[in-house]
Amino acid sequence: LQDLHGQTQGVGVIALDHPTVREAIRSLSASGVKVVTIASDILHVPRVAYIGIDNRAAGRLAGYLLNRFMGADRPGKVALFAGSLSYRGHEEREMGFRHILTEESPNLQIVEMREMLDDREKAYAEASALLDRHPDLAAIYNVGAGNTGIARALKERGRALSTVFLGHEVTEGTKELLLDGTLDAVIDQNPRVEAREALNTLTHAVRGLPYELHQPRLQVIFRESIPEI
* pLDDT above 90 (res 7): no
Q: How far apart are CA 145 and CA 147, in angstroms?
A: 6
Q: Is 210 helix (H, G, I), strand (E, B) or coil?
A: coil
User: What is the average per-residue pLDDT within 196-205?
Assistant: 98
> Is residue 89 predicted with pLDDT exceeding 90?
yes
**Would you give the DSSP letter of residue 211?**
-
- Quote the percentage of the chain above a pLDDT of 90: 91
Backbone angles phi, psi at 54, to 5 degrees: -80, 100
- What is the reported pLDDT for 16? 93
pTM: 0.94
CB 127 within 8 A of CB 140: yes
Mean pLDDT of 11-39: 96
Domains plus CATH for the chain? Answer: 2-52+190-217 (3.40.50.2300), 55-188 (3.40.50.2300)
Phi, psi of 113 (to 5 degrees): -130, 120
Element (H, E) at 98: helix 88-104
Asked whether the predicted pLDDT for residue 204 surpasses 80, the reply is yes
